Structure 1
Amino acid sequence: MSTSKGVRKKGKSNWKKVLYESQDFPDNYIPPTFLKDLRKNVNLRYYSLRESLIYSGLLTQEINCIIIFLQVFNLLQSSEQSSSNYICISIAIITLLLYLTLLLSSESDDVIGQLKTGIIFIISGFTVSPILKTLTETISTDTIYTMVTLMMIIHLIFFDYGVKVAIVSPSLSINSAIFAGVCLASRLTSSYQAFALLTFATDIFVLSTVIRSKLRKNISIQVNYILTCLLTTISLILMVNLCSPIFTIIYVISLIMVNLILPYGFWSLQSYKENIYGPWDEAVIQIND
């Protein structure tokens, strides 16, 4: 006698949630208690509008860092020798200030190690700058700019914004930004300019990132407001002086989207979140200590 789909066969035994046991039930049998373990939105965090606005500032900061870096490259590329020397000196001063700030924020045991790392970087960077400058000289400028755009997009996607998700990869984010700096360094006229640009890439994508992260953790998340305003002001000043008005307008519109419209949309759509958990999920082995 055939049994209909999901219907209990004749028998008085109770159904058991086991795999390797012959029971008087079809394989696709669904017990009445199947949905009793249904859970919704377990450990789901809802962000307030204020938090959404604050965390959007982290993305804005990184976008501003990219814009500032690209504008410094434009300054080095288009400036005369005397002006280029002033830019290189300014980068050296910025590097010194950032490095001193990092040393002051480090543990006492890490200061010597940080100093050694800085000295090694300066010496090795200055030594290999002529080589790094020639690595991509044979590649066309259009290809270089395309590669830089792609690397900066990768940098933004995989950057650590303080959210624990699988896509975050600080090493990939930093390496892509530094590689973009190496690509742009090949478009400069001298090894000194290439070294200055690579040093500034390290300043803005490594040192400043570490310092900003420590400020957020050790002081307050509200420090993002100050950092975001400061970096936005610098990037806008550089864009107004070096770019056409249309690019500046597009950039301002993009900042409004990132800092106001997108956070509000994210906050308002949170009510539609619905994650369900139940007996159909994969089994999780729990080991008791």
Structure 2
Amino acid sequence: MGFIAFSINLLEAPNFQNPEKTQFSQLNSNVSSSLNLRAIVMDASISGDSSPTRYKWRKVAYGGMQPGFDDNHTDDTFLEDMVMNANVVKRNMLKVMQDSVSISQYLCVVALVVLVWTYTLRSTLNENSLLLLDVSLLGSGFLILLLTEEMLSLNLLLHYVLNVSFFTTGLYVLAPIYQTLTRSISSDSIWAVTVSLLLLHLFLHDYSGSTIRAPGALKNPNLTSCISLNASIVASVFIASRLPSRLHVFAIMLFSLQVFLFAPLVTYCIRKYSSRLHLLFSFALMAVTLTFVYSLHRLLFVLLVGMLVFVNVVCPYWLIRIQEYKFEINGPWDEAKLCFDITD
């Protein structure tokens, strides 16, 4: 009995189990554990427990779309470079009024031209008076150029004189054509078109310079100033076509073209030479113009005075006041600007 009990105990002890069966059981348990771990990882990835890698947004101009961000995405640093009212110029009332004198000056020049046209159409000025006026204006213009222009040489002066002689000869030859150019058009249509062309001339005129550039000028006249000059010339042709004689037509055309072509050049040279002389000349011109307009018609005098006050006082004050409401923002969204001039 004792031997049988000892044998049973040996069989039940773990040290006496089959080795192959034991290794197979351990391998089976390891595989099961590995499969269970992989399943847990897959479930976690499916359920979204693991967070993906986040890319940092960079501000680039032409980098294309960045992964994880929209094409128009901006972060909190986008408005750090914003600048408000960087280009707003603080203006002085007196300085703006001085700059507006040039506009009033040219308004008076055009008013004087209209006065000469009116007196010529009324036969108050004959052809001899007009020719004397033309010679006086031409001589005074050349004298001002000689006194104010530093780069004017003798050769350039002779060049100007030669061009003026050719110009005058061409006008005298074309005077009969101008006289009969608008014979089939009614006078009312001529007056209406002339007024419209003068308004267009004033609206498009280059008040900062001259269509005929001074010697040494770098910039060429722009398109609007050329249109303005052409409008004034056509208006002069319409007025000249209503005059009775060929000499009248030649004299009035020469006067008009001298004023519209060379008066801006002369006033530009005066302003560049001395600002005080420019102001003195402008106020004297305004006084002369107002005197002649007052003698012609009281209502026109009131209109001209109101226009001068509006240009010299109201508009500068208006410009200063509206500067308070100007709001300009600049930042990285602005277009690139060239820091140099492109010349042909």
Question: Aligned partners of 1:52 and 1:225: how far apart in 2?
Answer: 13
Give the one of 235, 242, 263 matched to 2:316: 263
Aligned to 2:9: none
Contact kept? 1:159, 1:168, Cα under 8 Å: no
Give the one of 100, 104, 109 matched to 1:56: 100
- For 2:301, the aligned partner's letter is T
Report the identity percentage. 26
Give the one of 54, 58, 67 matched to 1:15: 58
- For 1:256, the aligned partner's letter is V
What does residue range 49-128 of structure 1 map to in structure 2 within 5 Å?
A: 49-79=93-123, 83-104=126-147, 105=149, 107-108=152-153, 109-128=155-174
Gaps of 5+ in 1: 1-8
Aligned to 2:293: 239
Contact kept? 2:79, 2:331, Cα under 8 Å: yes
Q: Could you say which structure has the greater relative contact order, defined with CA pairs below 8 angstroms and 6 or more residues apart? A: 1
Aligned to 1:30: 74
Gaps of 5+ in 2: 1-51, 210-218
Question: Aligned partners of 1:22 and 1:97: how far apart in 2?
Answer: 69
Question: Aligned partners of 1:232 and 1:10: how far apart in 2?
Answer: 78
Contact kept? 2:83, 2:330, Cα under 8 Å: yes
- Output the TM-score relative to the length of structure 2: 0.72
Aligned to 2:303: 250
Change in CA separation of 1:199 and 1:50 when aligned onto 2, cut-off 3 Å: same
Q: Deviations over 1:236-275 (max 9, x none)?
A: 12212222x1221222122221211221221222222222
Change in CA separation of 1:188 and 1:256 when aligned onto 2, cut-off 3 Å: same
Count, aligned residues: 275
Question: Aligned partners of 1:118 and 1:203: how far apart in 2?
Answer: 10
Change in CA separation of 1:21 and 1:80 when aligned onto 2, cut-off 3 Å: closer
- Output the TM-score relative to the length of structure 1: 0.85
- For 2:74, the aligned partner's letter is I
Aligned to 2:336: 283
**1:137 CA displacement:** 2.6
Question: Aligned partners of 1:158 and 1:186: how far apart in 2?
Answer: 25
Question: Aligned partners of 1:192 and 1:242: how far apart in 2?
Answer: 25
- For 1:269, the aligned partner's letter is I
Aligned to 2:277: 223
What does residue range 68-217 of structure 1 map to in structure 2 within 5 Å?
A: 68-79=112-123, 83-104=126-147, 105=149, 107-108=152-153, 109-162=155-208, 169-217=224-272
- For 1:88, the aligned partner's letter is L
- For 1:265, the aligned partner's letter is W
Question: Aligned partners of 1:153 and 1:261: how far apart in 2?
Answer: 20
Change in CA separation of 1:130 and 1:103 when aligned onto 2, cut-off 3 Å: farther
Question: Aligned partners of 2:223 and 2:87: how far apart in 1?
Answer: 20
Which stretch has the larger CA shift, 67-76 or 12-21?
A: 12-21
Contact kept? 1:54, 1:224, Cα under 8 Å: no
**1:20 CA displacement:** 5.0
Q: Deviations over 1:143-177 (max 9, x none)?
A: 2222222222222222222289x987332222221
- For 2:144, the aligned partner's letter is T
Question: Deviation above 4 Å: which 4+ runs of structure 1?
Answer: 284-287
Question: Aligned partners of 1:103 and 1:118: how far apart in 2?
Answer: 16
Contact kept? 2:105, 2:282, Cα under 8 Å: yes
Change in CA separation of 1:11 and 1:141 when aligned onto 2, cut-off 3 Å: farther
Q: Deviations over 1:71-93 (max 9, x none)?
A: 10011111268x44323322332
Contact kept? 1:60, 1:258, Cα under 8 Å: yes
